[in-house]
């Protein structure tokens, strides 16, 4: 990986702060009844999200999943519009029609989160086929969790991407659980990335998905290969969600000791300590970034609260396109 400039390092730090602070704030709003519908959080997976996306170029695309807040923020979505969307307001990025599980920002390269497990995979290879046919030089990153790897869509699209040699990265953030089911109990292979061999494509393993620079370095290499026309790759990064599957899940299938052990591997603290130890940033700079993040998210909440409710007539808009 080429040496990153200080501005790039601090931008990645800011995005990780934004992901955590945004989701912690949304969690509070859910408890207060200000957020309708299901909500899933990326807290604990900040490095796996930011590190994977930071090396993309303008014009590259992603598809996301139900736990997609982190990927949306990593892609540079407007925090005001995203918060308003989650609050169901007409000034949201999807006009209040998508909510938490269907955040999309096509202009920023995010083709959308998906409430259907594995639902973004077909969209991803369709987008990748478009890039190949139009020779755009752009690639697609298809983001999903470990639970999606036992869906038929995973195997079908990975096979199709392989035989068509599409410019797509299948990116699995493995947090160990499909809702309450340990991945080890529903898959005989030890790791998800090993499944790539069945389709004749490379499988890449990121053992520590909480190490931002390890994720960034690995994904930069994969992105370079895929952009060069070498075909699809399956990447697996090991991380952990601190909260339950969703706001309705107390997570009783996990022990407190297990969760606490993973919290010791806090990806934000890990990167902060790296920046300080290497004298790449001062504590005051990082504290200022954290404070600015909190301020921006508080402003986003007010933006959402002041937003209008969608009109009944808007239910019949944005259905067709010409």
pLDDT in tens, 24-36: 999 999 999 999 9
pLDDT digits (tens, 9 = 90+) for 94-131: 999 999 999 999 999 999 999 999 999 999 999 999 99
Which burial class, exposed, middle or buried, applies to 29 when counting CB atoms under 10 A from its CB (0-12, 13-18, 19+)? middle
**Cβ–Cβ < 8 Å for 143, 62:** yes
Average pLDDT score over residue span 268-295: 98
- In this predicted structure, the answer to whether residue 260 has a pLDDT above a threshold of 80 is yes
pLDDT digits (tens, 9 = 90+) for 43-70: 999 999 999 999 999 999 999 999 999 9
Residue 75 has a pLDDT of 96
Q: pLDDT band for position 2 (50/70/90)?
A: low
Average pLDDT score over residue span 12-37: 96
Residue 292 has a pLDDT of 98
Residue 1 has a pLDDT of 62
CB atoms within 10 A of CB 293: 21
Give me the residues paired with residue 110 across strands. Answer: 62, 105
Residue 320 has a pLDDT of 83
- In this predicted structure, the answer to whether residue 277 has a pLDDT above a threshold of 90 is yes
Give the separation between CA 110 and CA 77, rounded to whole angstroms: 9
pTM of the model: 0.96
- In this predicted structure, the answer to whether residue 37 has a pLDDT above a threshold of 90 is no
Residue 116 has a pLDDT of 93
pLDDT digits (tens, 9 = 90+) for 183-211: 999 999 999 999 999 999 999 999 999 99
CATH number belonging to domain 6-304: 3.40.50.970
Residue 90 has a pLDDT of 96
Residue 67 has a pLDDT of 96
Residue 113 has a pLDDT of 95
Give the separation between CA 49 and CA 69, rounded to whole angstroms: 9
Q: What is the mean pLDDT of the chain?
A: 96
Residue 321 has a pLDDT of 75
Boundaries of every domain in the chain: 6-304
pLDDT digits (tens, 9 = 90+) for 127-180: 999 999 999 999 999 999 999 999 999 999 999 999 999 999 999 999 999 999
């Amino acid at each position: 990986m080429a040496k990153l400039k200080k501005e790039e390092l601090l931008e990645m730090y800011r995005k990780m702060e934004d992901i955590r602070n945004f989701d912690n704030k949304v969690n509070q709003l859910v408890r207060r009844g200000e957020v309708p519908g299901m909500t899933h959080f990326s807290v604990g997976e900040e490095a796996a999200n930011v590190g994977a996306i930071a090396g993309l170029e303008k014009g590259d695309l992603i598809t996301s999943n139900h736990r997609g807040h982190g990927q949306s923020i990593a892609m540079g979505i407007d925090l005001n519009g995203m918060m308003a969307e989650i609050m169901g307001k007409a000034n949201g990025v999807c006009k209040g029609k998508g909510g938490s599980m269907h955040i999309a920002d096509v202009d920023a390269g995010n083709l959308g989160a998906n409430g259907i497990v594995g639902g973004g995979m077909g969209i991803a290879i369709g987008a990748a086929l478009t890039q190949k046919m139009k020779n755009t030089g752009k690639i697609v990153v298809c983001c999903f969790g470990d639970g999606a790897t036992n869906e038929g869509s995973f195997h079908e699209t990975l096979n199709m991407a392989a035989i068509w040699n599409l410019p797509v990265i299948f990116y699995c953030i493995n947090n160990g659980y499909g809702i309450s089911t340990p991945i080890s109990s529903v898959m005989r292979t030890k790791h998800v990335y090993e499944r790539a061999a069945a389709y004749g494509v490379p499988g890449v393993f990121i053992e520590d998905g909480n190490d931002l620079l390890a994720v960034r370095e690995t994904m930069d290499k994969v992105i370079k290969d895929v952009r060069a026309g070498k075909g699809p790759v399956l990447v697996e990064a090991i991380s952990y969600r601190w909260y339950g599957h969703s706001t309705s899940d107390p997570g009783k299938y996990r022990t407190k000791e297990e969760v606490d052990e993973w919290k010791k591997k806090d990806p934000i603290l890990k990167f902060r300590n790296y920046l300080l130890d290497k004298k790449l940033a001062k504590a005051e700079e990082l504290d200022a970034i954290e404070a600015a993040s909190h301020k921006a998210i508080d402003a986003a909440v007010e933006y959402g609260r002041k937003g209008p409710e969608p009109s009944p007539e808007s239910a019949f808009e944005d259905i067709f396109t010409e």
